[in-house]
Amino acid sequence: MTTNNRANFGTKLGAILAAAGSAVGLGNIWRFPYMAGEHGGAAFILIYLGCVLLFGAPIMMAEFVIGRHSQSNTARAYQKLAPGTQWRWVGRMGVLAGFLILSYYSVVSGWTLEYICAAGLGHFADKGPADFVNLYNNFVGNPWIPVLWAVAFLLITHFIVVKGVEKGIERSSKLMMPLLFLLLLVLAVCALLLPGAGRGIEFLMKPDFSKVNGSVLLSAMGQAFFSLSLGMGCMCTYASYFKPNTNLPKTALSVSLIDTSVAILAGLIIFPAAFAVGIQPDQGPGLLFVTLPNVFQQAFGHVPFIASLLAVMFYILLALAALTSTISLHEVVTAYLHEEFRLSRGKAARMVTGGCIVLGTLCSLSLGVGRDYTLAGMTLFDLFDFVTAKLMLPLGGLFIALFAGWYLDKKLLRDELTNHGALRLPVYGLILFLLKFVAPIGIAFVFINELKLL
Ligand code: TRP
């Protein structure tokens, strides 16, 4: 695939599913539940939904407009649309954010491979809640095994990106997304039937607004950007492969809806399961990896074969969901190096993979042998997560909203959103209002409130 001869996603559904493939990933099934768990549950989720509607969907439309109109990688896109201005830094910051996210995202993606093997080899049989906590802690603290899995995951991503991704991404997304959804539904039903699941539902549904502070707002906003793959040009890059007749507003809404439903479904599995077995929901990144094996054991433990089979299937799908996301992250950085520095695609991809292996290894070690090396009280893993999801992505989103709402020619914006008048768009005024005022002011407010910038 070269960007001079840009390929298209074959069908409209393919375009939606490829973008949804980037959006749906560990962010929904791993990060969303533990973030919600750490920040009090229902109130966090309501704020999250507000962020998706008010900031996420319009900013995704803006990224789509920028990408499809410029037909280039995210850094070049700003140079084309705003030549000779400083806007190009928005694209460059996005590329850096993508590189950092890919580094620590690969570590967690690697964990899914370990859990596929552990489930397949029957290591979950006869285990109880406390065993799963130990299993997880021993595993992530091990200096070698998680690093090797992360490297393996990066190499798989590398291989696919180098091969060219259109057919692969589109086809596999079409197959996997419905399957993942179905399996999540089955698991949600199982989790809801566990004795004691009720407290989990309550945690999800009954907001306690007394817990809401600046940190909760920032976390919910960061989660919205992370989960929707926004703020760093990922959706912009994908939109450059959209056809001229792709309906941008509708695609953005569909992707947001799919992404949010998957996150809520994951919550419906994990909280009832956690409360049912007495695991606290605020235990951080290990939540998914501790509660889920429990659901399989508790619900199907009397038929070990079924329990293992479902667990293996679930972790395979999780790994594949993560893979469609790592591909999209890798692609953003590779396309940038390839086009801007005249490197061959292969060489660009090798540099990205090599860099991520080094940083990913350090992130992984920072959860075990290196846990004492902290900066501002955070391990390297947490630091990468904080700097990208809570700073770079919302900041990128802020600039993208300003760019589309204020800088960009309104005729261009309207033409792209309506496919040159072919689509009716009664909410155009609303979208523009959200991009011009609501998103920038809202994001700035959350920043100022939490980071005490003023
Ligand atoms: N959205 C993906 C997830 O939820 C992760 C991801 C892919 C991402 N591309 C991104 C996050 C770009 C931020 C920016 O797992």
Token digits of residue 157: 């991503």
Pocket test for ligand 1, best of 30, 176, 226 (most atoms within 8 A of CB): 226
Residue nearest to atom 14 of ligand 1 (CA): 229
- Lowest mean pLDDT: which of 229-243, 260-274, 280-294? 280-294
Q: How far is the CA of 407 from the centre of ligand 1 (A)?
A: 26
**Which pLDDT value is given to residue 1?**
39
DSSP bridge partners of 378: 375
pLDDT at 171 over 90: no
Picking from 256, 251, 247, the residue whose alpha carbon sits closest to that of residue 418 is 247
Residue 298 tokens, joined: 């508790």
pLDDT band at 359 (very low <50, low <70, confident <90, very high): very high
Atom of ligand 1 nearest to the CA of 389: 13
Average pLDDT of the residues in 95-105: 97
State residue 2's pLDDT score: 40
Give residue-wise pLDDT tens across range 278-333. 888 888 899 999 988 888 888 888 888 988 998 998 899 899 999 999 999 999 99
Q: How far is the CA of 420 from the centre of ligand 1 (A)?
A: 30
Q: What is the pLDDT of residue 431?
A: 98
Q: Are 136 and 286 in contact (CB under 8 A)?
A: yes
Residue 454 pLDDT level (bands cut at 50, 70, 90): low
Average pLDDT for 155-163: 91
Residue located nearest, by CA, to atom 10 of ligand 1: 229
Average pLDDT over residues 145-151: 98
Report CA(25)–ligand 1 centroid distance (Å).
Answer: 7
* Range of lowest pLDDT (108-117, 175-184, 392-401): 175-184
> Does residue 446 surpass a pLDDT of 80?
yes
Distance, C-alpha 260 to centroid of its chain: 11
Ligand 1 site, CB within 6 A: 22-23, 25-28, 101, 226-227, 229, 232, 234, 325, 328-329, 393
Highest mean pLDDT: which of 88-102, 177-191, 300-314?
A: 88-102
Which protein residue has the closest C-alpha to ligand 1 atom 6?
229
Average pLDDT over residues 51-60: 98
Per-residue pLDDT at 6: 65
Q: How far is the CA of 304 from the centre of ligand 1 (A)?
A: 34
Q: Can you list the alpha helix ranges (DSSP code H) found in 39-120?
A: 42-51, 57-70, 74-81, 88-120
Cα separation, 71 vs 86, in Å, equals 20
CA pair distance 149, 146, nearest whole angstrom:
5
Which residue's CA is minimally distant from atom 7 of ligand 1? Answer: 325
Q: Which atom belonging to ligand 1 lies closest to the Cα atom of 225?
A: 13
**Average model confidence (pLDDT) across the chain:** 92
In this prediction the pTM is 0.94
Predicted confidence band at 441 (pLDDT cuts at 50, 70, 90)?
Answer: very high
Q: What is the pLDDT of residue 5?
A: 56
Nearest atom in ligand 1 to the alpha carbon of residue 25 is 15
- Nearest one of 241, 255, 246, 257 to 12, comparing CA atoms: 246
Residue 88, both tokens:
């190009």
pLDDT at 444 over 80: yes
Please tell me the distance from the alpha carbon of residue 3 to that of residue 241, in angstroms, as a whole number. 9
Residue 117 CA to ligand 1 center (angstroms) comes to 25
Ligand 1: which of 22, 96, 165, 255 to mutate, judged by most atoms within 8 Å of the beta carbon?
22
CB 47 within 8 A of CB 212: yes
DSSP 372-388: T--BTTB-HHHHHHIII
From ligand 1's centre to the CA of 126, what distance in Å?
35
Q: How far apart are CA 153 and CA 113, in angstroms?
A: 8
To test ligand 1's pocket by mutation, which of 173, 329, 386 has the most ligand atoms within 8 angstroms of CB?
329
Q: Find the 141 Cα to ligand 1 centroid distance in Å.
A: 25
- Nearest CA owner, ligand 1 atom 4: 27
User: What is the whole-number distance in angstroms between the Cα of residue 182 and the centre of ligand 1?
Assistant: 22
pLDDT of residue 123: 92
- The pLDDT tens digits of the residues spanning 121-134 come to 999 988 888 899 99
**Residue corresponding to tokens 């502070």:** 213
Q: Best of 96, 227, 333 to mutate for ligand 1, by most ligand atoms within 8 A of CB? A: 227
Query: CB 358: neighbour CB atoms within 10 A?
Result: 10
